């Protein structure tokens, strides 16, 4: 945390001036945005409804889905070109919006 005069600090992410409270090191806007950053989850919790997601086994990353709720199918992956058993997953990001939409 960047310390200024007593009771104030700069947000570690955006460097806005914030009032120092407790152990807060980021402003409320940055804290809220950070809560929405996807993280890896155990593969056992992946959606089983045909929804595509990112997967990894710790060495490669790809996209895939569960077919019929129990068979994993990889659409694509980066790394070795051999089948893999995923260990973790995360949601795909939202598609970018075109300007004006």
pTM: 0.59
Task: Give me the DSSP letters along 1-65.
Answer: -EE-STTEEE-TTT--EEE--TT--S-HHHHHHHHTS---EEGGGS--SS--EEEE-SS-EEEEE
Q: Which two tokens stand for residue 39?
A: 């993280």
**Tens digits of residue pLDDT in 28-82:** 776 666 666 778 999 999 999 999 999 998 888 889 999 988 888 888 776 665 6
Which two tokens mark 4?
């200024």
């Amino acid at each position: 945390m960047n310390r200024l005069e007593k009771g104030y600090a700069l947000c570690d992410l955006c460097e806005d001036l914030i009032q120092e409270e407790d152990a807060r090191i980021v402003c409320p806007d940055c804290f809220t945005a950070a809560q929405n950053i996807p993280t890896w989850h155990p593969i056992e919790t992946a959606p089983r409804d045909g929804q595509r997601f990112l997967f990894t086994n710790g060495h490669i990353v790809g996209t895939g889905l569960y077919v019929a709720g129990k068979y994993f199918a990889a659409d694509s992956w980066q790394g070795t070109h051999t089948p893999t058993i995923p260990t973790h997953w995360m949601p795909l990001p939202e598609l970018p919006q075109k300007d004006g939409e």
